[in-house]
A = this chain, B = another copy of it.
């Protein structure tokens, strides 16, 4: 393999990017059989193209969910080798259609799969709970011996000297790592575009973004080039691309899953703690991932983690699931398809005896954005700006959007402490709001009958047009509060149902910009885009949120359309 071209050798940013793309393409070219030079023209939905170019067996394997694959692999119904071959091939095709991959790892993945197949044959049992499961990985999560760049041209050349802790745990559980995926410059866009790899698009409608920052994962998994992947989220970066690409994605409460071994700006920052989490074609896939990682007690190795075991107790034994609905965050009104899908789901929930639905009045979500935007870059963005500047690469517009927004300031220690206290005051107010939903008080002053989860949009529309993802509030709200959130697919934009004329008088600039997008493009502009919603729980109630979504799925049959 040729040496990696970096700024150290005096290369321009364009040369570095070209080299990274050559490297990526070379890894794609290793996948056999290769695809024809000229692929069918991409109209809107690339999933249809997959059907014409993959074998029936490849389609069947790649459209199987993680939990079923786990069973089939454990029972030797299918081999790890066949599974990884099918996903490698579909991932290679995904790259050609949506530009979501930074490199594939065919030789190490095939070697690993062969080892696992041998292990099962010799031992008569799987090596661990994820035996043979292919897992795709966002690029900035370190893999031993492989280059890392975190979306910065200037960081190319920083080879990881160890696998990130979460990868070591998943490896021990039987995972096969085979694909690394794209992320935006700075990791701080709700889209995925960088000067290294260009723009990642949405597999359901390539005029739209994959979302971001874990948009390579979103796009790859949405296309079924992966069934389970790993993203990171400090403002929506797992949930936004999952929502855009019609998959499940969970941002757990902070400090539940290991974060060591990742490359990013902002190390040592404790005001807003980023989370790492699963993205998958199934809720069960996310749950299996969470449980597997937490079950090995990673807190002994990463002492900032909280020693909560994964809770299997039934939170809804003998009681109703109480869901509060946010229709609109009071800052940016969601586009009509989102409200249509939310209404559709809420109506079904209301029919169920074991579910109670109430409305939730959003509490100062605009202030919440001000607070979190003021805490993302406490040095005024200096670290990110230096990282971008180190190669001379230009700022992407969405880097400007976030790094130079009006709430960013170069804090002093006293101003940082004040801002942190404001964060805590807001968190306390939100907690009190939640406490106020209690219907009674137990013998020791315990609150009872409180809302269990909040159901809300995952963003102010379906997947946005490329370059237009500006309002983070629907996801960043829960980072500020450090609440767990999971997005799930509900429906798709449908011209016949979503072309109704709705008028709205915008209440601020963000709202105006978002509504203008709808007026300009209408349902036609977002055709086939997945519509997803978000379920949010109180801090550390990750397991409860997952269980609540299981109930909602079982009771309503959501999603209401097929994504394959």
| Residues of A participating in the B interface, judged by any CB pair closer than 8 Å | 128, 169, 172-173, 260, 266-271, 295-297, 299-304, 306-308, 378-379, 382-383, 410-414, 416-421, 424, 427-428, 430-432, 434-435, 444-447, 481-482, 538-541
Contacts and interface: CB of A to CB of B under 8 A. Distances in A.
Max chain B C-beta neighbours (<10 A), residue from A268, A271, A410: A268
A296 B427 contact: no
A117 to B, nearest CB: 21
Contacts of A424: 268, 304
Task: Identify the interface centre among A307, A445, A539: most chain B CB within 10 Å of its CB.
Answer: A445
B414 A413 contact: no
B260 A414 contact: no
A296 B419 contact: no
A288 to B, nearest CB: 14
Given A304-B424, A306-B306, A413-B413, 11 more contacts: A128-B444, A173-B444, A268-B421, A270-B270, A295-B444, A303-B482, A303-B539, A379-B413, A379-B414, A382-B414, A383-B414
A445 B296 contact: yes
Contacts of A271: 270
Nearest to A428: B303
A296 B446 contact: yes
Contacts of A267: 417, 421
Nearest to A483: B303
A127 to B, nearest CB: 11
Contacts of A446: 296-297
A304 B425 CA distance: 10
A418 B269 CA distance: 9
Contacts of A420: 268-270
Contact of A427 (B266, B304, B411): B304
A431 B303 contact: yes
A538 B301 CA distance: 12
30 contacts: A128-B444, A172-B444, A266-B417, A268-B418, A268-B421, A295-B444, A296-B444, A297-B446, A297-B447, A299-B539, A299-B540, A300-B431, A300-B434, A300-B447, A301-B428, A301-B431, A301-B435, A303-B430, A304-B424, A304-B427, A306-B306, A378-B413, A379-B412, A379-B414, A379-B417, A382-B414, A383-B414, A411-B413, A412-B413, A416-B416
A539 B307 CA distance: 9
A542 to B, nearest CB: 11
Contacts of A303: 427-428, 430-431, 481-482, 539
A93 B242 CA distance: 67
A446 B416 CA distance: 39
A446 B294 CA distance: 11
Contact of A428 (B260, B383, B431): B260
A544 to B, nearest CB: 11
* Closest 4 pairs (CB-CB, A-B): A268-B417, A268-B420, A268-B421, A303-B431
Nearest to A273: B270
Contacts of A416: 268, 413, 416
A300 to B, nearest CB: 6
Nearest to A267: B421
Nearest to A421: B268
A469 to B, nearest CB: 27
Contacts of A172: 444-445
A420 B267 CA distance: 8
Contacts of A379: 412-414, 417
Contacts of A428: 260, 301-303
Contacts of A128: 444
A225 to B, nearest CB: 29
B268 A419 contact: yes
Contacts of A417: 266-269, 379
A306 B444 contact: no
Instruction: Choose among A307, A419, A538 the residue with the greatest number of B CB atoms under 10 Å from its CB.
Output: A307
A128 B304 CA distance: 35
A378 B266 CA distance: 18
A122 B100 CA distance: 72
A410 B538 CA distance: 36
A444 B172 CA distance: 8
Nearest to A255: B306
A169 B445 CA distance: 9
A379 to B, nearest CB: 4
